[in-house]
């Protein structure tokens, strides 16, 4: 049975994650009004299971219908070819064979594209989940979808390669690590990103101390320093960012 409260979202089956919300105590609470009791918990669980079962059944029926439609079309084509053979209409018969080969080719390409699509989705989801968990730990699910939207996968020589998209969904020259830094310094996620996940030490005031060389370029800052600078001195952060875009 579903738990009313979970310490970590990982303790709950992934298909029930949307039934929980994190509250101020840091724990994940089942979305029920007041204390609805075990009966409501069971009802919610059964409702989710029924929905999953119905979706699986629908996909199964769609596959069966597609297979039946293909069989019917193949039988009709075979009957037509037999009719053409008996009539001695070899020109029409040749055209029929060409169409059959073209249909087989299209079917193969569609299956290949479907397979590549599955690989792309799995790769993107895996990278996004890993990055989100690394940045925000148990709160990673709150930013995973946004990270995934900035990723895509290309299939080259049978291998999947992860590419980063810009904010408009267009291909970019950014690396996955650069995307990680972008999300780390994004003020929108400041409340859930774990500060210790930065690639480097603490924040810098950009003034230099004890003879240390003053930092003047974006690349000289660690992730922690960038996020701290953005919070403490937005104008200095914007000016510094210009050195990256230059």
Six token digits for residue 165: 């998209």
* Cβ neighbour number for residue 218 with a 10 Å cutoff: 16
99 Cβ contact list (under 8 Å, min separation 6):
77
Ordered by start, the domain boundaries in the chain are: 1-28, 88-196, 198-205+214-246
DSSP letter at 167 equals T
DSSP letter at 4 equals S
Six token digits for residue 103: 């249909």
Closest CA to 181 of 234, 122, 215, 230: 230
Tally the residues of the chain.
Answer: 246
Asked if residue 185 lies in contact with residue 229, where contact means CB atoms within 8 angstroms, the answer is: no
End-to-end CA distance of the chain: 57
Return the percentage of the chain with pLDDT > 90, whole number.
Answer: 8
Cα 38 to its chain centre, rounded Å, is 34
Can you give the pLDDT at residue 195?
65
The pLDDT confidence band at residue 205, using thresholds 50, 70 and 90, is very low
What's the whole-number average pLDDT of the chain?
A: 76
Can you give the pLDDT at residue 38?
55
* pLDDT, tens digit (0-9, with 9 covering 90-100), for 95-134: 877 888 888 888 888 887 777 777 777 888 889 988 998 8
Cα 47 to its chain centre, rounded Å, is 26
Cα 103 to its chain centre, rounded Å, is 32
- Report d(CA 136, CA 139) in Å as an integer: 5
């Amino acid at each position: 049975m579903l738990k009313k409260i979970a310490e970590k979202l990982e303790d709950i089956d992934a298909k029930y994650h949307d039934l929980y919300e994190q509250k101020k105590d840091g724990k994940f609470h089942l979305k029920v009004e007041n204390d609805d009791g075990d009966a409501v918990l069971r009802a919610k669980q059964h409702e989710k299971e029924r929905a999953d079962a119905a979706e699986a059944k629908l996909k199964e029926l769609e596959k069966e219908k597609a297979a039946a439609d293909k069989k019917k079309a193949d039988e009709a084509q075979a009957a037509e070819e037999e009719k053409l053979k008996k009539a001695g209409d070899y020109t029409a018969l040749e055209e029929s064979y060409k169409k059959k080969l073209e249909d087989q080719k299209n079917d193969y390409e569609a299956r290949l594209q479907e397979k590549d699509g599955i690989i792309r989705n799995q790769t993107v989801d895996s990278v996004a989940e890993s990055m989100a968990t690394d940045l925000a730990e148990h709160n990673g699910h709150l930013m995973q979808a946004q990270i995934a939207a900035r990723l895509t996968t290309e299939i080259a020589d049978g291998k999947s390669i992860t590419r980063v998209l810009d904010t408009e969904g267009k291909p970019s020259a950014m690396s996955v690590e650069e995307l990680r830094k972008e999300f780390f310094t994004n003020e929108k996620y400041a409340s859930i990103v774990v500060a210790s996940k930065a690639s480097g030490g603490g924040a810098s005031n950009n003034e230099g101390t004890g003879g240390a060389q003053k930092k003047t370029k974006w690349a000289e800052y660690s992730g922690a320093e960038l996020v701290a600078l953005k919070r403490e001195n937005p104008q200095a952060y914007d000016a510094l960012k210009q050195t990256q875009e230059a």
